[in-house]
Amino acid sequence: MATVNGAAHYVAVDWGTSSFRLWLIGRDGTVLAERRSGEGMTTAAKTGFEAVLKSHLDAISAPDDLPVIACGMAGARQGWVEAGYLDTPAALADIVHAAVPVPGIDRDVRILPGLAQRDTTAADVMRGEETQLLGAGEILSSGDHLVCMPGTHSKWVRVSQGVATGFSTFMTGELFDAISKHTILSHTVGDGGAFDGTHPAFVEAVAQIADNPALATNRLFSVRAGQLLHALPATDGKARLSGTLIGVEIAGALSTVSAGGGICLVASGSLGALYQAAFSAFNLDPILIDADDAVRHGLASAARTLWPL
Amino acid sequence: MATVNGAAHYVAVDWGTSSFRLWLIGRDGTVLAERRSGEGMTTAAKTGFEAVLKSHLDAISAPDDLPVIACGMAGARQGWVEAGYLDTPAALADIVHAAVPVPGIDRDVRILPGLAQRDTTAADVMRGEETQLLGAGEILSSGDHLVCMPGTHSKWVRVSQGVATGFSTFMTGELFDAISKHTILSHTVGDGGAFDGTHPAFVEAVAQIADNPALATNRLFSVRAGQLLHALPATDGKARLSGTLIGVEIAGALSTVSAGGGICLVASGSLGALYQAAFSAFNLDPILIDADDAVRHGLASAARTLWPL
Please report the pLDDT score of residue A260 as a whole number.
61
Report the alpha-carbon distance of residue A220 to residue A237 in Å, rounded.
9
Q: pLDDT by residue (tens digit) across B226-251?
A: 999 999 999 999 999 999 999 999 99
User: Which residue from A minimizes the CA distance to B230?
Assistant: A120
Q: Which of A19, A9, A291, A262 is closest to A135 using CA atoms?
A: A291
Question: Residue A4's pLDDT is what?
Answer: 53
pLDDT of residue A126: 97
Do A189 and A238 meet the contact criterion of CB atoms below 8 Å apart?
Answer: yes
Sort out which chain A residues have CB atoms less than 8 A from B179's CB and list them: 175, 178
Q: What is the pLDDT of residue B257?
A: 84
Partners of residue B213 in chain A, C-beta under 8 Å: 213-214, 216
Express as a percent the part of chain B with pLDDT over 90. Answer: 92
What pLDDT does A49 receive? 97
Amino acid at A213: P
Q: Residue B259's pLDDT band (boundaries 50, 70, 90)?
A: low
Q: Hey, what's the torsion of the CAs at A254, A258, A260, A265, to 10 degrees?
A: -20
User: DSSP secondary-structure letter at B286?
Assistant: P
Mapped onto helix, strand or coil, the DSSP state of residue A86 is strand
Task: Name the band, by pLDDT with cuts 50, 70 and 90, for residue A3.
Answer: very low
Give the dihedral sign, CA B279/B281/B284/B285: positive
3-state secondary structure of A21: strand
Give, for A36, the enclosing helix (H) or strand (E). strand A31-37
Residue B125 phi, psi dihedral angles, 5° rounding: -140, 155
Give the Cα separation of B212 and B219 in Å (integer): 10
Q: How far, in Å, CA of B237 to CA of B226, rounded? A: 8
Most B CBs within 10 Å, among A154, A222, A250, to test the B interface: A222
User: Over the stretch A93-130, which tens digit does the pLDDT of each residue have?
Assistant: 999 999 999 999 999 999 999 999 999 889 999 999 99
Give the one of A221, A228, A256 whose C-beta lies nearest to B153's C-beta.
A221
Complex-level ipTM: 0.92
How do residues A155-198 score in pLDDT, each as one tens digit?
Answer: 999 999 999 999 999 999 999 999 999 999 998 998 899 999 99
User: What mean pLDDT value characterizes chain A?
Assistant: 94
Indicate if the pLDDT at residue A234 is higher than 60.
yes
Is the model's pLDDT at B1 over the cut of 50? Answer: no
Mean pLDDT of B172-184: 96
Rounded to 5°, the CA angle B220-B224-B229 comes to 130
* B-chain residue closest to A180, CA distance: B178
Residue-level pLDDT at B256:
86
Smallest Cβ–Cβ distance between B171 and the set A120, A171, A221 belongs to A221
End-to-end CA distance of chain B: 21
Instruction: For A144-158, write each residue's pLDDT tens digit.
Output: 999 999 999 999 999
Residue-wise pLDDT tens digits, A258-299:
766 689 999 999 999 999 999 999 999 999 999 999 999 999
If you average pLDDT over every residue of chain B, what do you get? Answer: 94
Cβ of B124 within 8 Å of Cβ of A222? The answer is: yes
- Cβ neighbors of A76 (< 8 A, separation 6 or more) are A41, A82, A83, A114, A127
pLDDT for position B235: 97
* CA–CA gap between residue A149 and residue A290 (Å, rounded): 10
> What secondary structure does DSSP assign to B28-87, as a single string?
TS-EEEEEEES--HHHHHHH-HHHHHHHHHHHTT--TT--EEEEEGGGSTTSSS---EEE
Q: Which of A118, A185, A221 to mutate to test the interface with B (most CBs of B within 10 A)?
A: A221
